[in-house]
Chain A
Amino acid sequence: KAGVTQTPRYLIKTRGQQVTLSCSPISGHRSVSWYQQTPGQGLQFLFEYFSETQRNKGNFPGRFSGRQFSNSRSEMNVSTLELGDSALYLCASGSDRTNTEAFFGQGTRLTVV
């Protein structure tokens, strides 16, 4: 079974721009979660989708949004990028409604300059 795939692996954007990151979960998994990882804040939960519905949202500004498609693939979007958005963005997929095991992708490294 292929693992969780995130694209692109690396991105460099300018302040004020917007960015879209993509995540393909493990085949059959219907839950997709997104996390931001930074040296200062560690791993922080962004949001979680299950069957195209956002079930859970972390404490991030509205500039961070996401969606999930009928094939369970998910995208997250960050608008009006700030320098502080530079981070590794991780996607995790889960097979059940309660996410008792999360399978992580390699992440997308976003650098905002």
Chain B
Amino acid sequence: AQRVTQPEKLLSVFKGAPVELKCNYSYSGSPELFWYVQYSRQRLQLLLRHISRESIKGFTADLNKGETSFHLKKPFAQEEDSAMYYCALLTYNQGGKLIFGQGTELSVKP
């Protein structure tokens, strides 16, 4: 079955602390994974994708096929990082379809 699991509904940290938002997936094919973010009163937008292996706003995510994980990390959280974060798996059946996790709300306290 194709599934994305984000075990934490809410993650609360203090400014400057490290952050790790967990994501595990289940997919029989070669996974293509993304992190989307939704800031307050803004639209859902792409944060990063595993194939580009880039760091966006200080966030990185590494695909671990052995553990079927794609955790999002940032060494020093900022208050402006407070948002909903969604992990998503792109599956193909002629066209692309995103399967989303339930989302993790990140709250960064001053």
Interface residues, chain A, with chain B CB atoms under 8 Å away: 3-4, 31, 33, 35, 42-45, 48, 50, 55-56, 58, 90, 92, 94, 97-107
Tell whether, in the assembled complex, residue B43 and residue A102 are in contact, meaning their CB atoms are under 8 Å apart: no
Interface size class of B (residues with CB under 8 A): 20 to 34
Main secondary structure of the interface of B (DSSP, over half): strand
User: Chain B 55-70 against A: per-residue CB contact (8 Å), 1 yes, 0 no?
Assistant: 0000000000000000
Q: How many interface contacts (CB-CB < 8 Å) are there between A and B?
A: 64
Tell whether, in the assembled complex, residue B46 and residue A90 are in contact, meaning their CB atoms are under 8 Å apart: no
Main secondary structure of the interface of A (DSSP, over half): strand
A43 to B99, CA, bound (A): 8
Contacts of A50 in B (CB 8 A): 95
Tell whether, in the assembled complex, residue A45 and residue B97 are in contact, meaning their CB atoms are under 8 Å apart: yes
Rounded to whole Å, the gap between the CB of B41 and the closest CB of chain A is 9
A94 to B99, CA, bound (A): 15
Given A101-B46, A102-B46, A102-B98, 10 further pairs, Cβ under 8 A = A33-B97, A43-B86, A44-B100, A55-B95, A99-B95, A99-B96, A99-B98, A100-B49, A100-B51, A101-B49
